[in-house]
Amino acid sequence: MKLITYQAFSGLLKTQFVGDSFLETAALHRLPQSSGNVLGYRVAGKLHVTDYQTLTIGIEEILKASDEVRLLLQLDGLEGIESGALWQDWKFGREYHEKIAKVAIIGDKRWERWLARLSSPLYAVESRFF
């Protein structure tokens, strides 16, 4: 019974945070082109704690079948990060730095390019901004 309950709850979390989320404030939206060990997200709005949960679940799914993850972040109106999510951001960088082989960040603002350069050593082995 515990296993069935866990699987049902786990599926609900994956649907809630990875799939079409009912959270209107979510800043991360998984790109349908994500496949294999490549995980893509459109980032729009302000990053929240739940967005890092979304990202973590997506990466963990890929790491079940692959040794590394390649991440694509399309910045489309990024408005910043809420204070409560800063801790999640730091923890995410520490835990997944060696497992994220490459990060490609697409944006059109000068501050996004600066932020990508500043954070690249924390999140991936290799990082590029386009």
Ranges in the chain, pLDDT < 70: 1-24
In terms of residue numbers, what domain contains 96? 2-129
Tokens of 110: 């000068």
In the chain, the number of structural domains is: 1
Tokens of 101: 């082989």
Q: Residue 79 is part of a domain; what is its CATH number? A: 3.30.750
Residue 115's pLDDT is what? 77
Residue 3's pLDDT is what? 43
Question: pTM for the complete prediction?
Answer: 0.74
Separation between Cα atoms, residue 112 and residue 49, nearest integer Å: 20
What's the angle, vertex CA 54, arms to CA 53 and CA 58, rounded to 5?
115
